[in-house]
């Protein structure tokens, strides 16, 4: 994958980012890999039409990789686009139609200003009943956070600990957009403003962390990013030709829910996460206690809190407390977002699901560098489209 960033790729188009990530993926194959060995290409890209005024992007990527006339398809399920693309790739291989598929995602968002990006992302919400009433995604997730606070007594301070933890993890990840801890950021911004802070919470409670949509503040929100991530899927028989240590997909699940929040049964949970994860657990024949670590969709800090509960890691209402206690840290009992998550690593929408798989692959092979866990066995990815209308969950293990 490329580094995710808001400035570093200003002079690159999405096709160049995707090719860069694809070349890295090919070069990572232990016994060598040539793009001519591919049977198909699946691309996750949310809104190339708006960001680059370019449609038909899967064929474009195949052209730039030089793999014509291999079949291609673009999958669009908002922020879950490449996670769902991976599910489609697995089905293509399981059907026997293909042996090797390149699956990835890309988003080139910084072609637009922040307001235009916000409006483009809002297209993934219900245009009639939410966007037309003024909702954007910070507002939607803020409503979910408020409901959770009221129902379970969770708090913004718990969310702050999630942000602190993810920035700590991101500081160890060379692919992350933000490689500074919250305290590093506090010192830099404080020097500019003539302010000093005793600790992270002191900074996060200051005017330098303004309210975006109550109760969510600036550092509760993931950034706007450019970037690409790619994985190579193959049958197990074929994988053994490429490497002696392949990573295996143990189970997967996918589910949908209502687009509009007002039609949901419960705002403190994502029903699609519960259903998709149960399908994945059942396919793999395991329970949540067997998961070594997870990459979850933390577009906002409360999204991580809710995800850790819905995935079965913690009881309802206890996800935030678990973060405060350090249970989701790198040395905790269930490390969450070891790479910094969307919060620190960045969120180029179409690339996010594939980037989660990249992190799981690196962790399971002991190649994650400074943020490597101690001998993880099973990793989980959780990729959410919009405010939970689409969810993809996958389980990965060493062979």
The per-residue pLDDT for range 10-28, each reduced to its tens digit, is: 999 999 999 999 999 999 9
Burial class of residue 10 in the structure, from the number of CB atoms within 10 Å of its CB (0-12 exposed, 13-18 middle, 19+ buried): exposed
The CA distance from 169 to 179, in Å, is 8
Catalytic entry in 161, 167, 297, 347: 347
Question: Mean per-residue pLDDT for 284-297?
Answer: 99
The question of whether 161 is a catalytic residue gets the answer: no
Whether pLDDT at 399 is above 90:
no
Q: What is the pLDDT, as a whole number, of residue 51?
A: 96
Question: Mean per-residue pLDDT for 184-197?
Answer: 97
Catalytic entry in 79, 221, 222, 295: 79
Residues shown for the chain: 399
The per-residue pLDDT for range 230-254, each reduced to its tens digit, is: 999 999 999 999 999 999 999 999 9
**Which CATH number describes the domain made up of 14-112+224-238?**
3.40.47.10
pLDDT band at 132 (very low <50, low <70, confident <90, very high): confident
The CA distance from 253 to 175, in Å, is 27
SS3 128: coil
The question of whether 56 is a catalytic residue gets the answer: no
Burial class of residue 179 in the structure, from the number of CB atoms within 10 Å of its CB (0-12 exposed, 13-18 middle, 19+ buried): middle
Which of 15, 37, 76, 157 has the alpha carbon at shortest distance from 350?
76
Burial class of residue 390 in the structure, from the number of CB atoms within 10 Å of its CB (0-12 exposed, 13-18 middle, 19+ buried): buried
CA atoms within 13 A on the CB side of 282: 8
Residue 387 per-residue DSSP state: T
């Amino acid at each position: 994958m490329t580094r995710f960033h808001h400035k570093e790729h200003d002079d690159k188009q999405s096709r160049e980012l995707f090719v860069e990530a694809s070349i890295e993926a090919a070069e990572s194959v232990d016994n060598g890999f040539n793009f001519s060995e591919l049977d198909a290409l699946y691309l996750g890209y949310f809104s190339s039409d708006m960001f680059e005024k370019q449609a038909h992007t899967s064929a474009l990527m195949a052209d730039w990789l030089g793999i014509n006339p291999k079949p291609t398809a673009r999958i669009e399920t908002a922020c879950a686009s490449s996670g769902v693309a991976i599910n489609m790739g697995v089905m293509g291989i399981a059907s026997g139609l293909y042996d090797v598929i390149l699956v990835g995602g890309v988003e080139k968002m910084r072609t637009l200003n922040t307001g235009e990006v916000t409006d483009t992302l809002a297209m993934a919400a219900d245009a009639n009943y939410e966007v037309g009433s003024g909702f954007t995604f910070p507002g939607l997730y803020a409503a979910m956070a408020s409901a959770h606070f009221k129902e379970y007594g969770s708090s913004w301070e718990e969310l702050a600990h999630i942000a602190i933890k993810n920035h700590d993890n991101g500081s160890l990840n060379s692919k992350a957009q933000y490689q500074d801890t919250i305290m590093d950021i506090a010192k830099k911004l404080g020097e500019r403003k003539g302010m000093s802070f005793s600790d992270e919470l002191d900074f996060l409670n200051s005017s330098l962390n303004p309210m975006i949509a109550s109760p969510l503040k600036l550092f509760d929100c993931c950034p706007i990013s450019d970037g690409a991530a790619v994985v190579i899927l193959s049958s197990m028989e074929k994988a053994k030709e490429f490497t002696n240590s392949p990573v295996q997909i143990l189970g997967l699940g996918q589910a949908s829910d209502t687009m509009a929040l007002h039609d949901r049964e419960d705002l403190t949970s994502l029903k699609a996460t519960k259903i998709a994860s149960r399908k994945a657990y059942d396919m793999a024949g395991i329970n949540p206690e067997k998961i070594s670590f997870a990459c979850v969709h933390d577009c906002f800090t409360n999204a991580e809190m809710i995800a850790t509960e819905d995935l079965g890691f913690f009881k309802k209402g206890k996800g935030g407390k678990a973060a405060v206690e350090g249970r989701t840290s790198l040395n905790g009992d269930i490390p969450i977002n070891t790479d910094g998550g969307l919060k620190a690593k960045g969120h180029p929408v179409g690339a996010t699901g594939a980037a989660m798989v990249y992190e799981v692959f690196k962790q399971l092979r002991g190649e994650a560098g400074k943020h490597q866990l101690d001998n993880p066995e099973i990793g989980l990815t959780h990729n959410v489209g919009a405010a939970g209308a689409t969810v993809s969950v996958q389980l990965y293990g060493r062979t």
